[in-house]
Amino acid sequence: MTETVDELIHPRWIVPVEPADTVLDDHAVAVRDGRIVAIVPEAEAAGRFTAGRETRLDRHVLMPGLVNLHCHAAMTLLRGLADDTPLMTWLQHHIWPAEAKHVSAEFVHDGTLLACAEMLRGGVTCFNDMYFFPEAAARAVAASGMRAVIGLTLLEFPTAYAADADDYLDKGLAARDALRDQPLLHFALAPHAPYTVSNRSFERIATLTGELDLPVHVHVHETRTEIEESLRMHGMRPLERLHRLGIVTPNLIAVHAVHLDAAEIALLAAEGASVAHCPASNLKLGSGIAPVAKLLAAGVNVGIGTDGAASNNRLDMFAETRLAALLAKGASGDAAVMGAHRALHAATLGGARALGLDREIGSIVVGKSADLCAVSLDDPLLAPCYAPESHLVYVAGRENVSHVWVSGRLMLENHTLRGFLKNELENIASLWQTRIRPSQPRPTP
Please report whether residue 181 resides in a domain: yes
**Same structural domain, 50 and 92:** no
**Same structural domain, 57 and 70:** no
Q: Give the pLDDT band (50/70/90) at residue 223.
A: very high
Please report whether residue 430 resides in a domain: no
First and final C-alpha spacing in the chain: 71
Residues in the chain: 445
CA distance 123 to 66: 6
CA distance 271 to 255: 16
Has residue 251 got a pLDDT over 60? yes
Q: How large is the average pLDDT for residues 282-308?
A: 97
**Same structural domain, 117 and 221:** yes
The pLDDT, as a whole number, for residue 445 is: 44
Domain end residue (candidates: 354, 389, 424): 354
Q: Which residues pair with 38 in a beta bridge?
A: 30
**Same structural domain, 188 and 85:** yes
**Same structural domain, 120 and 254:** yes
Specify the pairing of strand 27-32 against strand 3-14: antiparallel
Please report whether residue 98 resides in a domain: yes
Report, in angstroms and rounded to the nearest whole number, the Rg of the chain calculated over CA atoms: 21
pLDDT tens digits for 67-106?
Answer: 999 999 999 999 998 888 888 888 888 888 999 999 999 9
Buried b (16+ CB within 10 A) or exposed e, 418-445: eebeeeebeebbeebeeebeeeeeeeee
Please report whether residue 429 resides in a domain: no
Please report whether residue 245 resides in a domain: yes
CA distance 6 to 65: 19
Mean pLDDT of the chain: 95
Please report whether residue 209 resides in a domain: yes
The number of domains in the chain is: 2
The pLDDT, as a whole number, for residue 91 is: 85
The pLDDT, as a whole number, for residue 441 is: 52
Name the CA dihedral angle for 156, 95, 143, 317, rounded to a multiple of 10 degrees: -110
Domain limits for position 232: 66-354
pLDDT tens digits for 334-343?
Answer: 999 999 999 9
Share of the chain above pLDDT 90, in %: 91
Closest to 256 measured CA to CA, from 271, 243, 274, 240: 274
**Same structural domain, 339 and 304:** yes
The pLDDT, as a whole number, for residue 285 is: 92
The pLDDT, as a whole number, for residue 18 is: 98
**Same structural domain, 197 and 251:** yes
Q: What is the CATH number of the domain that holds 45?
A: 2.30.40.10
Please report whether residue 27 resides in a domain: yes
Q: What is the CATH number of the domain that holds 321?
A: 3.20.20.140
Q: How large is the average pLDDT for residues 145-159?
A: 97
**Same structural domain, 142 and 259:** yes
Has residue 428 got a pLDDT over 70? yes
The pLDDT, as a whole number, for residue 275 is: 99
Q: In sequence order, what DSSP letters do the residues of 265-318 get, joined into one string? A: HHHHHHHT-EEEE-HHHHHHTT-----HHHHHHHT-EEEE----TTSSS---HH
pLDDT tens digits for 115-125?
Answer: 999 999 999 99
Closest to 230 measured CA to CA, from 251, 268, 202: 202
**Same structural domain, 127 and 19:** no
Has residue 440 got a pLDDT over 90? no
CA 380 to chain centre: 30
Closest to 357 measured CA to CA, from 251, 198, 225: 251
pLDDT tens digits for 11-67?
Answer: 999 999 999 999 999 999 999 999 999 999 999 998 999 999 999 999 999 999 999
Peptide bond into 64 cis (omega under 30): no
**Same structural domain, 186 and 129:** yes
In degrees, to the nearest 5, what angle opens at C-alpha 8 toward C-alphas 66 and 355?
Answer: 25
CA distance 422 to 120: 14
Q: 349 CB contacts (<8 Å, ≥6 apart)?
A: 17, 18, 64, 67, 358, 362, 363
Give the number of C-alpha atoms closer than 13 A to the C-alpha of residue 31, restricted to the C-beta side.
24
Q: Give the pLDDT band (50/70/90) at residue 1.
A: confident
CA distance 402 to 416: 8
Please report whether residue 248 resides in a domain: yes
Q: How large is the average pLDDT for residues 210-238?
A: 97
Has residue 424 got a pLDDT over 90? no
Supply the DSSP symbol for 161.
S
Q: Give the pLDDT band (50/70/90) at residue 374.
A: very high
The pLDDT, as a whole number, for residue 343 is: 98
CA distance 226 to 324: 23
**Same structural domain, 383 and 306:** no
**Same structural domain, 112 and 246:** yes
pLDDT tens digits for 310-332?
Answer: 999 999 999 999 999 999 999 99
